[in-house]
Structure 1
Amino acid sequence: MSGRLIARDRAALVVVDVQDGFRSYDTFADVARQCGRLVKGAGILGVPVVATEQYPKGLQRTAPEVGLPEDAARVEKSVFSAVRAEGFDLAGRDQVLICGIEAHVCVAQTALDLLDQGVAVQVVTDAVGSRHANDREVGLHRLDRAGAVLTTVEAVLLELCERAGTPEFKAVQKVIL
């Protein structure tokens, strides 16, 4: 899969645990904002969104700035890998964009399980965080070595657009500027 372009008719966006309970993290505001840009872009491009919430009774719900649409699949979990959570479903999609918290735990375990299932994974690095910078960097390094493609919000949204000049491109351009 390494380097293969992601296609909007094959992709799903997985937003991992961007919950109010993590708001004290130094990177939370940036991660939530970038995840919100991804969610908005996914909506424009027709890419389904799956959002997970780790133990929402204690860590609360997905932060409002993520802007989850009403039709987004929401999966409550107590396991670290979303793939192992009851109700997690990619609806037949075989490519995943993944963002969220924490890079070295829930994001990593979800991505690794997806890779093991043969799903192409792109980790959106500017929309991924951890409590500690070193944990984030080690998590991203591990995912890169495992075969996930590291990307950015702007790169992946423009990749999904495929070309400039379309109404979708113009709408996505407003999201990334």
Structure 2
Amino acid sequence: MSEASRTRLFDRDGAALVVVDVQEGFRGYSTFGDVAAACGRLVEGARILGVPIIATEQYPKGLKHTAPEVGLPDDAEAVEKSVFSAVRADGFNLAGRNQVLICGIETHVCVAQTALDLLDRGVAVQVVTDAVGSRHAHDREVGLRRLERAGAVLTTVEAALLELCERAGTPEFKAVQKVIL
């Protein structure tokens, strides 16, 4: 992937939001509440902007389902997986999207492997740093460094959603502004 394709602005027509494994089984992590809330802001912003949302659940029989504060739309069915990379799970489909905002748990395992597989397939990836977490802070930091070296762009909830808005003054911008404030 060229440097230009990695750094170009994301747009609503090309982007999808991938929410990786923000499940009840991880609620004991010290950062879980913050990560789940940030993922919830991304989900709400994506819904407002018409960006498709793909959620995954790692072994839901043991780790349970997506936390309610993520606010998945009623019509969003999580892709169940036992592989670490969501890309390798049955049912994972970007539906032609070539840009992915990725958030979730764990940064250094499922988020990283999903992002790396997407990058290998030529998909532009932005990792939303305030919406990813790991059980240990060191694992999160190493995962983010690895992903950035591999070509993912690091961003934040606010930056990502405002990038997708493209301009102020629209009804969508006003609705997203309420989500990020």
State the distance in 2 between where 1:140 and 1:73 align: 27
Report how far residue 73 of structure 1 moved.
4.0
State the distance in 2 between where 1:60 and 1:50 align: 17
State the distance in 2 between where 1:89 and 1:74 align: 12
Extract unaligned runs of 5+ from structure 2: none
Find out whether 1:91 has 2:95 as its counterpart: yes
**Contact (CA 8 Å) 2:6, 2:125: kept in 1 or not?**
no
Find out whether 1:146 has 2:150 as its counterpart: yes
Residue in 1 that maps onto 2:52:
48
Find out whether 1:131 has 2:135 as its counterpart: yes
Find out whether 1:119 has 2:123 as its counterpart: yes
Residue in 1 that maps onto 2:66:
62
- Please provide the CA RMSD for this pair: 0.6
**Contact (CA 8 Å) 2:15, 2:98: kept in 1 or not?**
yes
Q: TM-score of the superposition, structure 1-length normalised?
A: 0.99
Q: TM-score of the superposition, structure 2-length normalised?
A: 0.97
**Contact (CA 8 Å) 1:48, 1:72: kept in 2 or not?**
no
Partner residue of 2:13 out of 9, 12, 27:
9
Report how far residue 72 of structure 1 moved.
2.0
Find out whether 1:172 has 2:176 as its counterpart: yes
State the distance in 1 between where 2:48 and 2:133 align: 25
Find out whether 1:160 has 2:164 as its counterpart: yes
Identity %: 83
Residue in 2 that maps onto 1:18:
22
